[in-house]
Amino acid sequence: MKSFTKNKIWLRTVLQIFFFILIALIAVNHVLKDSGIEIPLLSNASLHAVCPFGGVVSLYQFAAVGTFTQKIHQSSFILMILVFVLAILFGSVFCGWVCPLGSIQEWVGKLGKRLFKKRYNHFVPRRIDQYLRYLRYIMLIWVLYATAMTGKLAFGDIDPYYALFNFWTGEVAVTGLVVLGITLLASLAVERPWCKYACPYGAILGITNLFSIFAIRRRESSCKSCDICTHECPMNIPVHAVKVVRDHQCIGCLECTSEAICPVENTVIFATKGNL
């Protein structure tokens, strides 16, 4: 049996930092392009061109008239397909391993953990929280509907991801900055508040958790029911109470697994069906 010492899923942290810096530099390069100074060997694409959600919101228009929504490019479609491939295999790992907005919420949350200790990530009463978790589907439906009706990025003015990497350019709507500010502030008390309650892309990727090939699985025979997996879960999923985590909120971070926090070897694992 392992001790309760947490092992770091270090590669996840490395990838999160890498993607955050990469997107930040691309955003800077995009602005620098016009002044003739560019960072060599780095794309100067717009932020919309490297966002897979752009592909999702363009689906209707692409199917209906064969064009993309304004500001969306073919690269968004490619990224959307790649992320869906990952999601079918592993669930919404894009959220836990790649998305820079998720990463920054997580990093701000580390400060929140120090501030609020055990109360951190447990402020919202469960009876309310369980319903709030479905708000992001309302957001998803609104975004898809509004974009389909107008042919414009309906989400653009409130998108905290765009605001995060463009706040310094003066091109971000005030609403976007406000949403980003609220998100980061709320991250001090709640882990990944945007992901949990509002992210439309997380909503659609979360659906793949219900049928992804790999999932978090708990071996009941060796489980000591210490509940530490549940306590560690950033998305407050009761891992200790289920055999397979098929929760639409799981971000595949692996922080609950035997590789990270579970004290018993080979008990909480990320595996295919039948592995237990």
H-helix or E-strand containing 270?
Answer: strand 268-271
Would you call 4 exposed, middle or buried from its count of C-beta atoms within 10 A (0-12, 13-18, 19+)?
exposed
Shortest Cβ distance from residue 11 to other proteins (Å)? 4
| The token pair that represents 262 in the structure block | 């579970």
Residue 40: CB atoms within 10 A of its CB come to: 5
Q: Closest Cα partner for 188 from 133, 121, 125, 250?
A: 121
Beta bridge partners of 270: 216
Q: Closest Cα partner for 81 from 109, 59, 61, 97?
A: 59
Q: Are strands 215-218 and 268-271 parallel, antiparallel or unpaired?
A: antiparallel
User: Which of 129, 232, 259, 264 forms a contact with other proteins (CB under 8 A)?
Assistant: 259
CA distance linking residue 170 with residue 80, whole number of Å: 28
Decide if residue 174 touches other proteins (CB under 8 A). no
CA distance linking residue 21 with residue 57, whole number of Å: 25
User: Which of 132, 148, 207, 264 forms a contact with other proteins (CB under 8 A)?
Assistant: 148
The footprint of other proteins on this chain (CB under 8 A) covers a number of residues equal to 58
Radius of gyration of the chain measured on its C-alpha atoms: 19
Quick note: the x/- pattern for other proteins over 21-60, rule CB under 8 A, is ---------x--xxxx------xxxx--xx----------
Q: How many residues does the chain have?
A: 276
Shortest Cβ distance from residue 172 to other proteins (Å)? 12
User: Smaller CB distance to other proteins: residue 8 or 224?
Assistant: 8
Binding part of the chain for other proteins, among 103-111, 118-126, 147-155, 241-249 by CB under 8 A, reads: 147-155
User: Which of 27, 56, 57, 72 forms a contact with other proteins (CB under 8 A)?
Assistant: 72
Hunting for tokens 């501030």 — which residue is that?
115
User: Smaller CB distance to other proteins: residue 39 or 111?
Assistant: 39
Binding part of the chain for other proteins, among 120-128, 176-184, 243-251, 262-270 by CB under 8 A, reads: 262-270
Decide if residue 201 touches other proteins (CB under 8 A). no
User: Which of 28, 56, 57, 90 forms a contact with other proteins (CB under 8 A)?
Assistant: 90
Q: 48, 172 in Cβ contact below 8 A?
A: no
Decide if residue 231 touches other proteins (CB under 8 A). no
- The residues binding other proteins (CB under 8 A) are 9, 11-12, 14-15, 30, 33-36, 43-46, 49-50, 61, 64-70, 72-75, 78-79, 81-83, 85-86, 89-90, 93-94, 97-98, 148-151, 171, 214, 252, 254, 257, 259-260, 266, 269-272, 275
